[in-house]
A and B are shown apart, each in its own frame.
Chain A
């Protein structure tokens, strides 16, 4: 059974600081997703990482994937208040990678 662990689950940051969210998973997969969710809203896709060593960046967020270590990271650079949200990683599995297994999410609060 695939297990996905995110840490930390809660993260309080000051504006301008850097931090990393970690996503570990238990079985082989080469497809990993990062989502953002604002309170009361649906999931917004941030990144899809498809191969070992994949790195993607969008604004102050950068995601990477190490399939050998079964680890993905979401790095936040110079945080701003607008980044406050819950961030989820999800790992694909099953035939044609149809099934997503989500981490429990990281609630990020960026304080002025």
Chain B
């Protein structure tokens, strides 16, 4: 049982390049999330999904797009990368959205934009 798997683990981009981060979960969870984590700050929610075919904006959605075509996969896209998007990106999933519901995290993607 792999849990939540993120690819790639590391990536270096030049300003203006595009890329897609892939998140896959094998727990049959309805909810999936993309966060970014920057030094000295808490995790910030970029986008989330409450089920296959749905997406919603989080706290910091600008510059990112997402898609949830299959229940097990949640993709995060950067259309035109900027140095401000240098960060560690974490994907998470949960069974429901309500209180007491544990979010399970992937190992993270470390992205540098030069």
Partners in one complex: no
**B interface with A by C-beta (< 8 Å):** none
**A interface with B by C-beta (< 8 Å):** none
